[in-house]
Amino acid sequence: MSGPTTAIFIGDPIAVLLAASAIRAAQAVAAGYEHAENLRGEQRAHRERLRAGLKDAAAKGRAALQQEVKAVEVEFEAITRLAERYAARDTIMTTRPATPDSGNELQLAAYVNAMRALIMELRAILQTESALRMDELGEEAGLDAAIAQAAASGSATPVQRLLARIAHLGDVPQDIAGVAREIAAIPFADTERARLLTNELRMRIQKHVEAAQAHAVEEASALVLQQSLQDLGYQVEDVSNTLFVEGGVVHFRRQGWENYMVRMRVDPEARTANFNVVRAVGEAHNERSVLDHLAEDRWCAEFPALLQALALRGLHLNITRRLEAGEMPVQLVHKDKLPRFAEEEDAAPGQKLLSRKIT
């Protein structure tokens, strides 16, 4: 295989969502560390002049930060215990950023902020999975406090329990709220109608949760794709978070590929991704080249590594069509219609950090 290739993409919901959460957490920590170093440089001029006051303030700040670090790590551990029932504990453990040096207050603050955002994402992922399975995560999962309290006292209605499952997804859709109101208005003696409508409510909630999770997975897949390509050393144009929702194209290349790059076209309805090598040409340089065949062979050798990197993060591509090099000519595209890549690109700190994780 060297020519155009088509694959069906299949996302493992929890794996893809957790992979995207890990990427965002690593990026947040890296950005926080960079900001911390900038602040450290700005503070250096003042440090000698205010040394005594800063020393006392730093000690107090460090103690408070250490308490916050302990608190978020305890909460993270609680999330990992909840994940055991979905066989996701080990995967969730890999999303946790490394704890920084306890003596660096600015880095500790960046770590705490990243952990808080990560915990919120992880909790929402588990709540959604719980709602799909209609199982019980309990108060520890962070369900609405009033509903959880009512459930503990035995006064929660079945409708309240069902609606509590989707509280983390935002406003209740009108079709679901309408059925809930109908149930509330049913006379006490009409138990059969209440049962039927409760089943209808459960079905609508199930569809709502499925749609919400599918949309989240599609958006997460775009981030997984971009980061995986960057981890493998490719220059990648910005990937829209709607790539797997609305479709579109993304181009990527390695330094030294000159006018060649790979185009990936996504069809969300067919759930397919098509890869083919393209060459950027100008008005006077659109002839065929003997290098086209070599460019396709080069991409052929590298494609399995991308498949593996994506699979490790839960995004699987099953090949459905592949052509040999030369069966179809390399597509020639006017350079003005293609993204421009720098010949030399320094990887961002977050990218360097993540590349070490999957190699």
68 Cβ neighbours under 8 A, 6+ residues apart? 108, 112
Question: Which pLDDT score is estimated for 1?
Answer: 42
What does the domain layout of the chain look like in residue ranges?
5-11+234-358, 13-135, 146-213
Question: Which pLDDT score is estimated for 231?
Answer: 96
Summarised one tens digit per residue, pLDDT across range 131-172 is 888 876 655 555 445 455 555 655 668 888 888 889 889 999
Question: Which pLDDT score is estimated for 325?
Answer: 59
Q: What average pLDDT does the segment 114-119 reach?
A: 92
Q: How confident is the model at residue 354 (pLDDT cuts 50, 70, 90)?
A: very low
Domain 5-11+234-358 in CATH 3.40.50? The answer is: no
Cβ 229 vs Cβ 306: under 8 Å = yes
Whether 51 has a pLDDT exceeding 80, the answer reads no
Mean pLDDT of the chain: 82
Q: Residue 51: left (phi > 0), alpha (psi -120 to 50), or beta?
A: alpha
Summarised one tens digit per residue, pLDDT across range 70-90 is 999 999 998 998 888 888 899
Cβ 8 vs Cβ 318: under 8 Å = yes
Q: Comparing 144-153, 156-165, 211-220, 303-312, which segment has the lowest mean pLDDT?
A: 144-153
* C-alpha span between 251 and 337 (Å, rounded): 11
* pTM beyond 0.85: no
DSSP 242-281: THHHH-EEEEEE-TT-TTEEEEEEEETTTTEEEEEEEEEE
- Residue 110's nearest CA partner among 25, 21, 47, 23 is 25
Question: Which pLDDT score is estimated for 106?
Answer: 78
Whether 347 has a pLDDT exceeding 90, the answer reads no
Whether 248 has a pLDDT exceeding 90, the answer reads yes
Residues 131-162: b if buried by 16+ CB within 10 A, e if exposed: bbeeeebeeebbbeeebbebbeeeebeebebb
Q: Comparing 105-119, 186-200, 303-317, 344-358, which segment has the lowest mean pLDDT?
A: 344-358
